[in-house]
Amino acid sequence: MNILVINAGSSSLKYQLLNPETGELPAKGLCERIGIDGKFTYKPQVEGKQVLDAIDVAMPTHSEAIAAVLDILVDPVDGVIKSVDEIDAVGHRVLHGGMEFSDSCIIDDEVIKAIEKCIPLGPLHNPANLMGIRACQAVMPKTPQVAVFDTAFHMTMPPKAYRYAIPKEYYENDDIRRYGFHGTSHKYVAKRTAELVGKKNFKMVNCHLGNGSSLSAIKDGKCMDTSMGLSPLAGVPMGTRSGDIDACVVQFICNKYNMSVDDCLTMLNKKSGMLALSGVSSDFRDLGDGADKGNEDCKLALEKFAYEVAKYVGAYAAALNGIDVLTFTAGVGENDGLVRGMVCDYLGFMGVKLDPELNKSRGKEMVISTPDSKVQVWVVPTNEELMIAQDTAELVNAAKAK
């Protein structure tokens, strides 16, 4: 089975052709500068096929971008499939499913309307995701399309976790509540961890630590709480996002500097976090290098990050009445033993014991705790595209079986 996984942004579109059963990845790539000058990248993962790196291809809209993707995938020389009919379905990443979607679903007119309804909650991403969906419908009208939402995995949270303590009318009239993001990654890691530990019923905290970071408290595979909120700004500090912050900071800055709320939020999303604390970079590799050279601001950025991540782990361990497993994933979680070590140093009180040798590992699926650690600590590399492909295949196969 071949699933085309699409992640459409406003001027870009990432694609992967994947086999959901084996995880095999015949090709992937990226369309950039859609609506501007159009740059096309194609990375076949099969021997002897030519890589295209940011070549000029006219892409006035997402439709031409998808057409270019299909053209190269079926190219007689450099393609990896013979015809578009070999693509069984398309799985689209959609950022915000609001209260409309608690699971992935096959796209029809009703689903498109519901995704449109969620635009106020995901004003930047949902319109772009819809452009990707409409472009695929136009170019491959017979192929089933599935929407996989970044928020859906978190819809199992109880009200005490998702409600904000503000007047009820904002929840009832405007759907203002905690939603959470990175849901596809948290779902993948939860599912994979259950396979690795060989149990279905257990309690875990997953730390998705990348450029954007979020933690989820997960019981028996279901999300009980998560650190991001109505938007991805909430939770731990991130590469360029502040994370949780007293709302009065916004009021103070807007009043004092005559700044609009939108501009202040752009500052909190794009110029804050590790970038702001270090004054050097949002990239954790640069922070590590800086700290090694004695840069105190880089040290503070790393210390703040590890401290806040550990506080969330402690809070979620309390929320779940103890945890069995702690997992690390995404760019930092998978690769940065220093950060993992700094986080786990705070967690000795609950019996977390890292093996320093195992913790040196990078990017590999493995246990990094000692055999006598009360909580098993794992590195589980995430694979959002594979999760999207698996959800898509499952829905399409179920529909066929009906």
What does each C-alpha distance from 320 to 10, 96, 329, 354 come to in angstroms? 39, 26, 20, 21
Q: How many CB atoms lie within 10 A of CB 53?
A: 12
Q: Which of 11, 41, 45, 211 binds ligand ADP (CB under 6 A)?
A: 211
Which of 86, 88, 17 has the alpha carbon at shortest distance from 399? 88
The CB-of-135 to ligand ADP minimum distance in angstroms stands at: 23
Chain positions 150 to 179 lying near ligand ADP, rule: CB under 6 A, are none
Taking each continuous run of H as one helix and of E as one strand, the counts in the chain are: 14, 14
Closer CB to ligand ADP, residue 113 or residue 362? 362
- Token pair listed for 19: 């086999």
Q: Does 289 bind ligand ADP (CB under 6 A)?
A: no
Verify whether residue 150 is a known catalytic residue: yes
Residue choice 25, 65, 130, 330 for contact with ligand ADP (CB under 6 A) = 330
The reply to whether 210 sits near ligand ADP by the rule CB under 6 A is yes
Question: Pick the catalytic residue: 71, 109, 150, 262?
Answer: 150
- The mark string for 342-371 relative to ligand ADP (x by CB under 6 A, - otherwise) is --------------------x---------
Given 79, 98, 212, 235, the residue binding ligand ADP (CB under 6 A): 212
Between residues 336 and 391, which has the closer beta carbon with respect to ligand ADP? 336
Q: Which is nearer to ligand ADP, 45 or 211 (CB)?
A: 211
Binds ligand ADP (CB under 6 A): choice among 332, 354, 387, 388? 332
Nearest CA-CA partner of 192 in 221, 162, 151, 228: 221
Nearer to ligand ADP, 285 or 360 (CB): 285
Q: Is 240 in the site for ligand ADP (CB under 6 A)?
A: no
Closest CA to 27 of 10, 5, 11, 46: 46
The stretch among 2-10, 39-47, 197-205, 329-337 that binds ligand ADP (CB under 6 A) is 329-337
CB of 239 to ligand ADP, least distance (A): 6
Name residue 207's beta-bridge partners. 215, 328
16's CB contacts (< 8 A; 6+ apart) are 4, 5, 25, 27, 28, 385, 389
DSSP symbol at 149: E
Query: Which three-class secondary structure state does DSSP give residue 391?
Result: helix
Which one of residues 91, 237, 290, 331 is an interface residue with ligand ADP (CB under 6 A)? 331
Please name the amino acid found at residue 204: M
Residue 211 in contact with residue 241, Cβ under 8 Å? no
DSSP assignment of 67-89 equals HHHHHHHT-TTT-SSS-GGG--E
Which residue, 361, 397, 395, is CA-closest to 381? Answer: 361
Q: Would you call 281 helix, strand, or coil by DSSP? A: coil
Q: Is 206 in the site for ligand ADP (CB under 6 A)?
A: no
Among 82, 199, 271, 285, binds ligand ADP (CB under 6 A): 285
Binding to ligand ADP by residue 335, rule CB under 6 A? Answer: yes
Which residues are tagged catalytic? 150
Contact footprint for ligand ADP (CB under 6 A): 210-212, 239, 283-285, 330-332, 335-336, 362
